[in-house]
Amino acid sequence: MGNPDLRRVSMSLVEAVSENPHITVLWYSPKKVEETEIDDLGDIKLKPQPNEITWIDIDGVTEPSSLIPLLKTFNLRDSLIDQVRASLRPQVEDYGDYIHIVIRMMRYEDENSPIMAEQVHLVLGKNYVLSIQEGAEGDVFNAARDRIRADRGSIREKGADYLVYVLLEAVIDNYFKILEEIGESVEDLQDAMLDNPTTSALRDVRDLKRIVRFLRKSVWPLREVLSELEREDSTLIDDTNNIHFRRAYEHAIQAMDVSETTRDTLSDMLDIYLSSVSNRLNQVMKTLTVITTIFMPLTFIAGVYGMNFQFMPELHWRYGYPLVLGSMLAIVALMLVYFRRKGWL
């Protein structure tokens, strides 16, 4: 929109597309942390030291078949490649020796950038986590990386399942960030629609509804994923971490409630737009009606004296012209006074 105060509402939703993958391998334990970047998944070296967790983050998968070395290294099933290639709803599958989680990640940098959406696969195994991002470089996991590097909290004392919880929480927290931005945009749009309802404002409402609808479709099945992880009877998930997955589940419920409220508000804004347009139309019709009513007697007088009859009264009277004009002005003044007293003006 042209109004600089409403730049927030220019948010748009795009599917992230990657050109080159960015592969980061992070090993950590309670006492140390090591991080490196590699160009080929075949170069990954496992470090099976006790209490050491391996986190491999593949940011931007250009070709799913490039994951074949990863399947061999971690003994993963070939179906993972097909799942990465497909567009799936958030879900979780337990294969015994590892758990595969599919989620939707959305991120929003600032008001000048669109909302990026991409599918993310998390693979939880014994002492390792794989995060496979299908979109462009960049994610919402920097806070988790910083916690590991700086040894903040208890993340380095926990297992790989706790790392999965932290990554899921990061995705949910970013949902709230996007909903907060949308909420501010909605407030600006409400004021704009009341003052000056335009088609551009209506287009912004439509775009915001599309984002909220996509976010809702991402959060709804994510609740089921978190609920299953909480109840998961697997050796890969420690019972002490069930409370964390429960907390993430509650946060997903809150995000769902906020998205529902925002969606209802946006739907109500369509009614506001229609009401505002209708009021403006009524004002215009009211003004036109008053003008038409004022000119009706003037048109009658002009029509009478515009008739070309030879023996019309006052036709050759010296003061006829100014008298007719004065009468017209007096009629206009009287009608304006009358309309104002009636509250029509």
What pLDDT does residue 113 have? Answer: 67
Question: How far is 132 from 102, CA to CA, in rounded Å?
Answer: 10
Which pLDDT does position 4 carry in this prediction?
32
CA distance linking residue 11 with residue 151, whole number of Å: 36
Looking at the predicted structure, is the pLDDT value of residue 19 above 60? no
Chain segment 177-199, per-residue pLDDT in tens: 888 888 888 888 877 777 777 77
What does the pLDDT read at residue 331?
A: 87
Which of the four pLDDT bands, split at 50, 70 and 90, describes residue 5?
A: very low
**Domains in the chain and their CATH numbers?**
4-275 (3.30.460.20), 281-341 (1.20.58.340)
Residue 270 φ then ψ, to 5°: -65, -40
> pLDDT over 70 for what percent of the chain?
91
What are the tens digits of pLDDT across the range 67-93? Answer: 888 888 888 998 888 888 888 889 999
In DSSP terms, 14 is beta-bridged to 116
* pLDDT reported for residue 6: 38
Residues 287-323 as b or e (16 or more Cβ within 10 Å = b): eeeeeeebeeebeeeeeeeeeeeeeeeeeeeeeeeee
Show the tokens assigned to 256: 């769902």
Residue 279's pLDDT band (cuts 50, 70, 90): confident
Q: Which residue has the higher pLDDT, 318 or 264?
A: 264
Would you place residue 161 in the very low, low, confident or very high pLDDT band (cuts 50, 70, 90)?
very high
| pLDDT value, residue 28 | 92
With 90 as the cut, is the pLDDT of residue 251 above it?
Answer: yes
> pTM for this one?
0.76
Per-residue pLDDT reduced to its tens digit, 233-248: 888 998 888 899 999 9
Residue-averaged pLDDT of the chain: 83
Using pLDDT thresholds of 50, 70 and 90, give the confidence band for residue 110.
low
SS (H, E, C) 298-330: HHHHHHHHCCCCCCCCCCCCCCHHHHHHHHHHH
> Can you give the pLDDT at residue 173?
93
Q: How confident is the model at residue 56 (pLDDT cuts 50, 70, 90)?
A: very high
Per the listing, tokens 């989680």 go with 101
| Cα distances (angstroms) measured from residue 80 to each of 21, 99, 123, 243 | 17, 11, 10, 29
